[in-house]
């Protein structure tokens, strides 16, 4: 379902040189024998997800859809980015759908939270609080504030029916709280880390609440799980992409710019950055993942890409067919001089922008461009895509000899912050 085009990468790559390494790492992944091996639950997550589990998620999602105007999804990092990326990719940015999904718990900004409080206080809202550890400060503070607001608004008993908690099966303060209050609980399996959790209830419940078909979404992931198993680079697009990423890093292209031509994929870029940034940025190694939306950012970053310091390569996710066509109208006076495009679809214009940019960046500027192509943007392709990136990520990180599934560096800011906040033990 994904085609990978490596014809615009400036230099020729000898995949054969990588064959043995990739074969060995593939075995390490399959036999779960590498660093972080207790976090490989995502590998079989799509096929391990039972119909009954999906039915249970859909049952609660239907309840939310019928009874509430807004669902507040409270989480940070892997506990919200997959859901956000999916909901925006499928529903778009301005869909007038009930319930509206609003994300909280991903910052300490009082202005942002105040804005959300003002927006929801006179509306019917539910909360899905998501935290694997159950102790993440951004999430916990936001949840406390909105739980209080809800309890004041509808009373403690009604509030309990409007709060859904997604957390670990056995530990953490969110689990304790959820048990005590009797909230509906969803479990994030202990062997799946946050950024690999979009196919668990962490992603599936909010995605289902947004009216998206999670069965088709999981089906796409299952396809990827089945197709992306070969250790032969030519037969495994995820591994081919991982090898290309490694190749460019070794050639001092330290940044990977993930590019789409769809505003509804901006949050997919955010998810991409977390997946690769947290998984690979260790031991003074790894690509710095960044993202851009073209043609929007051609009018800002485009100049740098074309003529600035040669520190990056681009990975373009090209969606071949839009879900909707818009034709450019003809006018009698042609004052804006656009009649030469009259009757043409916007997708045609976008395609020429894509082709022209590919040529400008790869041929003229000598910036390597990898093109990942999918036919269209729907639940199935999106499910496939998430799994594809996760599989790429495992291979990429092991090529760098780092553990893809931990994030020790993130603890440093937390320790400092806790010390400054006067938290006990810091």
**Residues noted as catalytic:** 278, 299, 414
| Least distance between ligand PA5 and beta carbon 197 (Å) | 7
CB 244 within 8 A of CB 370: yes
Residues that bind ligand PA5 (CB under 6 A): 76-79, 131-133, 136, 139, 193-195, 278, 407
β-sheet bridge partners, residue 102: 72
| Least distance between ligand PA5 and beta carbon 193 (Å) | 5
| Least distance between ligand PA5 and beta carbon 32 (Å) | 18
* Beta carbon nearer to ligand PA5, 131 or 293: 131
State which residue has the least CB distance to ligand PA5.
Answer: 194
Closest CA to 397 of 243, 168, 268, 264: 243
| Least distance between ligand PA5 and beta carbon 227 (Å) | 25
Q: Locate 210 and state its tokens.
A: 């947004």
* Beta carbon nearer to ligand PA5, 99 or 194: 194
| Least distance between ligand PA5 and beta carbon 129 (Å) | 9
* Beta carbon nearer to ligand PA5, 77 or 302: 77
Q: Is 92 exposed, middle or buried (0-12, 13-18, 19+ CB in 10 A)?
A: middle
* Sequence-separated (6 or more) residues with CB below 8 Å from residue 131: 75, 79, 139, 140, 166, 167, 172, 174
* Beta carbon nearer to ligand PA5, 396 or 407: 407
**How far is the C-alpha of 418 from the C-alpha of 281, rounded, in Å?**
23
* Beta carbon nearer to ligand PA5, 137 or 306: 137
Q: Which residues of 208-237 are buried (b: 16+ CB within 10 A; e: fewer)?
A: bbbbbebeebbebbbbbbebbbebebeebb
**How far is the C-alpha of 150 from the C-alpha of 97, rounded, in Å?**
22
| Least distance between ligand PA5 and beta carbon 235 (Å) | 29
* Beta carbon nearer to ligand PA5, 132 or 264: 132
């Amino acid at each position: 379902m994904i085609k990978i085009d490596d014809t615009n990468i400036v230099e020729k790559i000898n995949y054969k040189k990588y064959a043995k390494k990739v074969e060995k790492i593939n075995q390490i992944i399959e036999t779960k024998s590498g660093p972080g091996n207790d976090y490989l639950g995502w590998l079989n997550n799509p096929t391990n997800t039972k119909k009954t589990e999906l039915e249970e998620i859909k049952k609660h999602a239907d309840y939310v859809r019928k009874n509430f105007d807004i669902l507040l999804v409270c989480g940070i990092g892997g506990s919200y980015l997959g859901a956000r990326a999916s909901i925006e990719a499928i529903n778009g940015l301005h869909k007038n759908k009930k319930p509206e999904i609003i994300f909280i718990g991903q910052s300490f900004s009082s202005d942002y939270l105040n804005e959300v409080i003002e927006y929801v206080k006179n509306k019917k809202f539910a909360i899905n609080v998501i935290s694997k550890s159950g102790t993440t400060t951004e999430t916990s503070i936001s949840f406390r504030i909105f739980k209080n607001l809800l309890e004041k608004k509808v009373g403690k008993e009604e509030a309990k029916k409007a709060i859904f908690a997604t957390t670990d099966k056995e530990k953490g303060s969110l689990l304790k709280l959820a048990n005590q209050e009797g909230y509906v609980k969803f479990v994030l399996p202990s062997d799946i880390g946050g950024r690999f959790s979009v196919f668990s209830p962490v992603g599936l419940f909010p995605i289902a609440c947004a009216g998206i078909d999670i069965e088709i979404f999981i089906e796409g992931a299952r396809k990827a799980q089945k197709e992306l198993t070969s250790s032969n680079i030519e037969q495994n697009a995820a591994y081919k992409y991982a090898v290309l990423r490694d190749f460019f890093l070794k050639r001092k292209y330290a940044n990977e710019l993930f590019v789409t031509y769809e505003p509804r994929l901006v949050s997919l870029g955010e998810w991409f950055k977390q997946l690769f940034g947290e998984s690979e940025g260790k031991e003074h190694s790894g690509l710095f993942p960044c993202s851009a939306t073209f043609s929007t950012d051609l009018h800002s970053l485009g100049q740098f890409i074309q003529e600035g310091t040669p520190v990056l390569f681009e990975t373009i996710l090209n969606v071949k067919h839009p879900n909707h066509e818009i034709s450019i109208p003809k006018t009698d006076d042609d004052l804006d001089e656009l009649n030469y495009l009259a009757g043409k679809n916007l997708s045609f214009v976008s395609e020429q922008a894509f082709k022209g940019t590919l040529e400008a960046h790869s041929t003229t500027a000598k910036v390597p461009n990898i093109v990942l192509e999918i036919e269209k943007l729907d639940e199935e392709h999106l499910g496939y895509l998430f799994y594809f990136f996760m599989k790429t990520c495992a291979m990429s990180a092991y090529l760098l000899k780092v553990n893809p599934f931990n994030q020790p560096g993130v603890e440093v800011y937390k320790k400092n912050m806790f010390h400054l906040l006067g938290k006990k033990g810091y």
